[in-house]
Amino acid sequence: MAMARSVGTLASLALLPKTDLKGLVERLMGEFTVVGPVPKGKEYVFSPIQSAGDLALDYGTTILPPKKVLHQPFEVLFSFHETEGICEAREPERKQILFGLHACDVYAIQILDRAYTLEYPDPYYGIKRQNTLIIGLNCHQVGPTCFCQSMGTGPGMRQGYDLLLTDLGDQYLVEVGSSSGEALAAALQLFPAPRVMLVEKEKRLDEVRRKFHKRLQTTGLHELLEDNFRHPVWEQLMHQCLACGSCTMVCPTCFCYNVVDKLDLGLKSGKRQREWDSCMLLEYAQVALGHNFRKDRDARIKQRVYHKLVYYEPQFSTIGCVGCGRCISACVKKIDFTETIAILRGE
């Protein structure tokens, strides 16, 4: 992966006894909206918490990625009125903390940062991102669909966090990843930790690394995919795929959206809003007068896989998949693109 390591990663270490976590979260809640993983049925979702007890830090993954906080599924951009024009009166955003994010999701946010803040800055994303701190949590819950290790994004987090927690049994190791994180750590008055604790952390991460079953071989991926554009596997997938769009709806790096105007009944005022869109949907590549550039389902499946694994790289200097496995677990037909790649490799 071509991302530079953030310089402050090892600048400061601290220890947080687990018994102090509640107090810490409550102190954070005084100043920030704290968004963290909470249970929903047998799954988990990121949600603003009401008390520290809401947090389920032993979660594996969530239905939707934390992307939903920065780039919302539905979002009103502005309202407009026949005589008053465009009104962008937006509430000042409260500062928020994304708490307990795993490495895959933090890496995905860094990809979104490139898509939304560099060449074409998106003000709606930008303002939320500026007001957001990330407290990461090194993952030790390797799920059956996880393959972050293959993508080089996890399980250990290397960058993108303000603070990073690692579960060491009865305490967390706290690492500082940014100046905001440093300020936060100072305000929280954490106990300094000896550097030897990093060895303990690596030991824990090594245990996690041994738990992965799912793999995606990334070497020579571009050539492999370029050479197999007409491989029969795509047609097989076309027959299987339900074109329901779930895989892209749960993806942490998908950034497409659709914009719709919602008028009031008087037809004099209304709202412009956006919502997540998906290249897996038939109407996505349809243009005026009805022509559709990706009418066939296999063309859309290929677009999704090639976009993630090939086309992201020239634009964002990284593969577009972080290996979170959500698209696999969300698929009713259990379509798994790590298996597709294995088939292309003749494995």
The stretch among 180-188, 203-211, 223-231, 245-253 that binds another protein (CB under 8 A) is 245-253
Which one of residues 226, 260, 268, 345 is an interface residue with another protein (CB under 8 A)? 260
Report if residue 331 touches another protein, rule: CB under 8 A: yes
- Residues 327, 254, 76, CA angle at the centre, nearest 5°? 120
- Residues 215, 106, 98, CA angle at the centre, nearest 5°? 140
Q: Rounded CA gap, 234 and 15, in Å? A: 50
Min CB(167)–another protein separation in Å: 26
Q: Per-residue string for binding with another protein, 161-200, x by CB under 8 A? A: ----------------------------------------
Q: Per-residue string for binding with another protein, 114-143, x by CB under 8 A? A: ------------------------------
Of the two residues 146 and 331, which places its CB atom closer to another protein in the complex?
A: 331
Report if residue 241 touches another protein, rule: CB under 8 A: yes
Of the two residues 29 and 244, which places its CB atom closer to another protein in the complex?
A: 244
Min CB(315)–another protein separation in Å: 25
Min CB(108)–another protein separation in Å: 16
Reported for 152-155, long-range contacts at CB under 8 A and 24+ positions apart, including other chains, are: 152/1, 152/218, 153/1, 153/103, 153/104, 153/107, 153/108, 153/322, 153/323, 154/102, 154/103, 154/104, 154/107, 154/322, 154/323, 155/102, 155/103, 155/205, 155/208, 155/209
Min CB(40)–another protein separation in Å: 6
Pure H helices in 56-102: 67-70
The stretch among 76-84, 105-113, 205-213, 274-282 that binds another protein (CB under 8 A) is 274-282
Element (H, E) at 327: helix 326-329
